[in-house]
Amino acid sequence: MSKVTKVIARQVFDSRGFPTIESEVFCGKISSKAICPSGASTGSFEAYEKRDNNKKYLGKSVFKAIYNVNKIISKKILNKDIHNQELIDSILIKLDGTKHKTKLGANSILSVSIAVKKLSAKIKNVPLYKNFYIKKNFNLPYPLMNIINGGVHANNGLRIQEFMIRPDKARTFSEAMSICFSIIQNLKKIIKDRKLSTAVGDEGGFAPMINNNEVALNLIVKSIKKSGFVNGKDVSICLDVAGNELYKKGKYSIHSKDYISIKKSINGYLKLIKKYKIKSIEDPFAENDWNAWSDFLKKSQDLQLVGDDLYVTNLQRLKKGFLNKSSNAILIKPNQIGTVTETLEVIKFAQKIGYQTIISHRSGDSEDTFISELAVGTNSNQIKTGSLCRSERVAKYNQLLRIEQQLLKKNNMAKLK
Ligand code: 2PG
Ligand code: MG
């Protein structure tokens, strides 16, 4: 048995320059590290992120979370079997004892939980993606590349937070990357020709000063065409609206600055879907607006409807959504729930009920590539991890390219529904 001999945590920085926690777990001289990511458009049911509220770091430092790892968590998991993830996670969950991990902080718990998973693979000498519940027939996920940033990830006034492309035509991950590369480079030229800025937002997508959804969509359609692909066939446009941010008193300001009813908002969506052949929409409505979600699912036919802030990677909320017929896909973010074991439970349940599982980064992320391994290791058919820009995003894609090379498969993409 390989036992945990030491756990230490430290403060490092995320891609927005904010402090975050990195934990390192040891079995003797061998160790693995994990850095916790952090969101900007968070759901209110997410597990709690512990920060210090001190002046020096504008309330963002994580020294209390680090103390919790170094002084509390470390003692409890010492001598535990590194390969028994479920046992270690259940100790962490019990030790915290609160519904949203408010006592120890989900950031301290998750960084330890992921480091344990990584170290177990390292000691077994297997690639990390082979240390999940799928044992063979690994496939690569389709990238959902966020190529125009809006909402709280940019300051351009675009209502919708993420304008993404998915290279449906690709039969290998390398091909998927090459398709996205062409479209992004052409988009850059088109934006430049319009005398707009090609500077990027938090997730590496361009953040030109445009504040109209359709202007952004037209730029993307043009760049797909210019790259020689057919929109809606070779490549699909996908959106994350982040509906929580656009909600006020039963109304939404998705399609313009004006707040309109749910019915009108749905009609607006249906028009966009038809005009731009949109295949996937995440968080079209707010996290508690269950009826709006089920109405939209009924009317939107083949659309992939993705719950992010709606489910917050939480099994209870996913079950509620399933009964309510709220969506047909779920976004998976480990830090919304706080342990690897709970994340896997949600993925397994989602796959059992026929939901698409999309593994996701956070807007504040790092060089940690755990989610790439998680996507392959759970046979999730999509991954959302920003644009082909900013190293914290590109690192995830590069890790998937390495996995693809290891797999030596010809048609290596997971099946899209
Ligand atoms: C989202 C995410 C990731 P954030 O809303 O899906 O793109 O953003 O991490 O800011 O919640
Ligand atoms: Mg989202």
In whole angstroms, what is the distance from residue 23 CA to residue 32 CA? 8
Same domain flag for 63 and 176: no
In whole angstroms, what is the distance from residue 366 CA to residue 63 CA? 18
**Last residue within a domain, chosen from 69, 95, 125:** 125
Query: pLDDT > 70: what percent of the chain?
Result: 100
> 23: Cβ below 6 Å to ligand 1?
no
- What pTM, to 2 d.p., does this model score? 0.98
**Last residue within a domain, chosen from 125, 157, 174:** 125
> 244: Cβ below 6 Å to ligand 1?
no
Quick check: is 135 in a domain?
A: no
Name the residue of 246, 363, 366, 392 to mutate for ligand 1: max ligand atoms within 8 A of Cβ. 363
Q: Tell me what pLDDT residue 22 has.
A: 99
> 385: Cβ below 6 Å to ligand 1?
no
Ligand 1, atom nearest to 43 Cα: 11
Same domain flag for 81 and 159: no
Quick check: is 343 in a domain?
A: yes
Name the residue of 107, 110, 239, 240 to mutate for ligand 1: max ligand atoms within 8 A of Cβ. 240
Tokens 């479209």 belong to 183
Quick check: is 417 in a domain?
A: no
Which structural domain range is residue 47 located in? 6-125
Same domain flag for 68 and 192: no
Quick check: is 132 in a domain?
A: no
Tens digit of each residue's pLDDT (9 = 90 or more) over 34-78 = 999 999 989 999 999 999 988 999 999 999 999 999 999 999 999
**Last residue within a domain, chosen from 125, 154, 174:** 125
Structural contact between residues 281 and 304, judged by C-beta atoms closer than 8 angstroms: yes
Same domain flag for 72 and 177: no
Same domain flag for 77 and 153: no
348: closest CA among 339, 336, 357? 357
Tens digit of each residue's pLDDT (9 = 90 or more) over 340-358 = 999 999 999 999 999 999 9
Which is it for the CA torsion 151, 154, 45, 373, positive or negative?
Answer: positive
Question: Nearest ligand, CA of residue 384?
Answer: 1
Task: Let me know if 263 is a catalytic residue.
Answer: no
In DSSP terms, which residues pair with 358 in a beta bridge? 331, 382
Overall number of domains in the chain: 2
Same domain flag for 185 and 40: no
Structural contact between residues 134 and 378, judged by C-beta atoms closer than 8 angstroms: yes
Question: 333, 342, 384, 404: which is the annotated catalytic residue?
Answer: 333
> How far out from the chain centre does Cα 323 lie?
24
Same domain flag for 171 and 90: no
Same domain flag for 244 and 296: yes
Same domain flag for 195 and 62: no
**Ligand 1 centroid to 365 CA: how many Å?**
10
Residue 328's φ and ψ, nearest 5 degrees, are: -130, 15
Ligand 1, atom nearest to 40 Cα: 10
**Ligand 2 centroid to 70 CA: how many Å?**
32
Cα dist. 92→45, 69, 87, 373 in Å? Answer: 19, 10, 9, 23
Residue 247's φ and ψ, nearest 5 degrees, are: -110, 135
Q: What single DSSP character describes residue 68?
A: I
Quick check: is 107 in a domain?
A: yes
> 149: Cβ below 6 Å to ligand 1?
no
Tokens 């949600």 belong to 346
Q: Roughly how many angstroms between the first and final C-alpha of the chain, as a whole number?
A: 41
Same domain flag for 113 and 146: no
Same domain flag for 191 and 111: no
What is the CATH number for 35? Answer: 3.30.390.10
Same domain flag for 97 and 246: no
Task: Let me know if 333 is a catalytic residue.
Answer: yes
Quick check: is 269 in a domain?
A: yes
Structural contact between residues 331 and 356, judged by C-beta atoms closer than 8 angstroms: no
Pairing mode, strands 329-332 and 356-360: parallel
In whole angstroms, what is the distance from residue 388 CA to residue 273 CA? 25
In whole angstroms, what is the distance from residue 107 CA to residue 334 CA? 10
> 360: Cβ below 6 Å to ligand 1?
yes
Tens digit of each residue's pLDDT (9 = 90 or more) over 70-123 = 999 999 999 999 999 999 999 999 999 999 999 999 999 999 999 999 999 999
Question: Nearest ligand, CA of residue 46?
Answer: 1
Looking at the predicted structure, is the pLDDT value of residue 1 above 80? no
CB count in 10 Å sphere of residue 213: 22
Cα Rg of the chain, angstroms: 21
What is the CATH number for 261? Answer: 3.20.20.120
